[in-house]
Structure formats: C-alpha cells, structure tokens
Amino acid sequence: MLTGAQTIVLLTRGLDLSLGPSVSMISVGSALTMTALLGPDGANGIPAALAGSAVGLLFGLLVGLFNGIAVAWLRVNPFVTTLASMNICLGIGTSLSDGRPVFGIPEEFNTAGYRLHVLGIPMSIIYAVGVGIALHVLLQYTVVGRSFYVLGSNPRAAVVAGWPRRRLLALAYILSALLTAVGALILTARAASGAPNLGGGLSLQTIAAAVIGGVSLSGGRGGLSSAVIGSFFITILSNGMNLADIGGYTQMLVMGAIVIFAVALDRIARLNV
C-alpha cells in the first residue's frame, strides 16, 4: 500500500521522502487522539477509534496539500519539498510523543485494523487488496490516472492539451499522502501503539521497491503491478536479513545499495529506448 502511494508521485516525475516520517507522525497523532477520548475501562472505544482515524487522515491530507502546493504552484523541486516536509513530520511526531510510544489505543481499533479475520484472511490483507484494486483502476482506467503518466513522460504535452497540470500534480501528492495515512493507521493497529519511529526507513524502501519493480524515476512508466513485485522482493529480502541476524545498520547499507543499483538499471533502460 505504501509503495503504491510512492508510485503515484514517481509516475509524475516526483518522489516523496516524507512518506516514512509522515507514517510516524500520523501514528502518533491518531494514537494520542484515541487515548485522549478513550473512557475508563475502554469506554467510548468505537468513537475514539473513529476520531483517531479521522485525525490520521487529516494529517495525511495536510502533508499532501503542503507537498502538492509547493511542487505544483510554488514550483519547488520535489526532492527539496519532501525533504522539508520529512523533517517537519519527524519533528511533529517526536514532539507530540516526546520520542516515546503511545500505548492504550482502543481494542476496537486494534481489532478492526489487524486482529479481525474474514474467512481466515487478516483485515490488513483485505484492506491492502481493496486499496490496491482501487488504485489500479484509477491509474489504468481513468482520465486522472492516465494524466499522471502524461505528466511524467511529457509534461509539455499536458500543457498543450489544456490539462490543469498544476491541479493534477497537486492531486497526485494529495492522493499519495492519503494512501500513506491509511497505511499508517493499519500499521498503528498492528503495533497496538502510536510509535514515533514506525516509519523508519519506509521512504527509502518504498522508492527501492517501486524502482526495482519497474517504475521509472523519470516518470511516466510503471504501475501498481510493478510496485507490488518490487514490494515482494524488498519484503523477502528484509525478512531474509532478519532471519540471518543481520544488523539494522547493515540492512540500511544494503537497502541503499539496492536503490543505487535500481536507479542505474532504470538509467540504462532509458538510454536503450
């Protein structure tokens, strides 16, 4: 799901470095809201869970608006824009939680987001598949989705065609941030807490997964199926390194090397076109 969020902006020839820190900020913000509204002995669990989810989505919307307006209307480079929002999200998430996990979220939120199974399938998988199908339809079968490809492959053609280029570009960042918010809420339910380090290296991992799957950093090429393939590869690699008891810092080094390798392959593929 998070790789899908990254894919949306990559298709427009952008990227989102704020994805990981925004996951952490959304997790902390939603958890604090839920714990503040949760009554004694878990009373008001459902209203608290709904309010926390709404706050998480609002945080995501604000991040998307910030990135979208800066990139589309202020014409700030996507790298610089999302680097700034990355630090903003990191600072807000850490400040709100004082750098500590937020425990005590409603049981109803944890159940609906993670523990509940339908026909033996975890709800988190059902959410991911549902969002994935919706995103695939959006990118492949709607005018808005196809416009993201045009913005990435030939921005001038979009302008000549009279498309609202700035609004479409901003929409890409907003959709990406909202999708990130949904993923953050699911991860929060899985962790049963709001964690200021929940996002970790997700920004790098999602970029690596998308590019390895075939999404071009130059925009206009790739899709959700590409992102899914890359995500499976990164997940298997990460789990394999954990099972091999490879340290976290070494894993970061490996992930960085994979990104460089994937970017080099993308560059070679474009030169051969």
Three-class SS string for the chain? CHHHHHHHHHHCCCCCCCHHHHHHHHHHHHHHHHHHHCCHHHCCHHHHHHHHHHHHHHHHHHHHHHHHHHHHCCCCCHHHHHHHHHHHHHHHHHHHHCCCCECCCCHHHHHHHHHCEECCEEHHHHHHHHHHHHHHHHHHHCHHHHHHHHHHHCHHHHHHCCCCHHHHHHHHHHHHHHHHHHHHHHHHHHHCCECCCCCCCHHHHHHHHHHHHCCCCCCCCCCHHHHHHHHHHHHHHHHHHHHCCCCHHHHHHHHHHHHHHHHHHHHHHHHHC
- pLDDT score for 45: 84
Nearest alpha carbon to residue 131 among 259, 273, 8: 8
Torsion of CA 193, 197, 202, 204, to 10 degrees: 180
pLDDT at 239 over 60: yes
- The pLDDT of residue 167: 92
pLDDT score of 173 more than 60: yes
User: In the structure encoding, which two tokens stand for residue 105, read together?
Assistant: 């979220």
Q: Looking at residues 209-235, what average pLDDT do you find?
A: 83
Q: Does the pLDDT at position 273 exceed 60?
A: no
Decide if pLDDT at 248 tops 90: no
Give the integer Cα–Cα distance in Å for 78 and 15: 6
* Residue 53 backbone phi and psi in degrees, to 5: -65, -40
Quote the percentage of the chain above a pLDDT of 70. Answer: 99
pLDDT of amino acid 272 = 66
Q: CB count, 10 Å around CB of 104?
A: 14
Average pLDDT, the chain: 88
Lookup: tokens for 245: 């008891």
Q: Can you tell me which residue has the tokens 């004082």?
A: 98
Least confident of 42-56, 158-172, 238-252, 259-273: 259-273
Instruction: Say how far apart CA 172 and CA 67 lie, in whole Å.
Output: 10
Q: What angle do CA 33, 35, 40 make, to 5 degrees?
A: 140
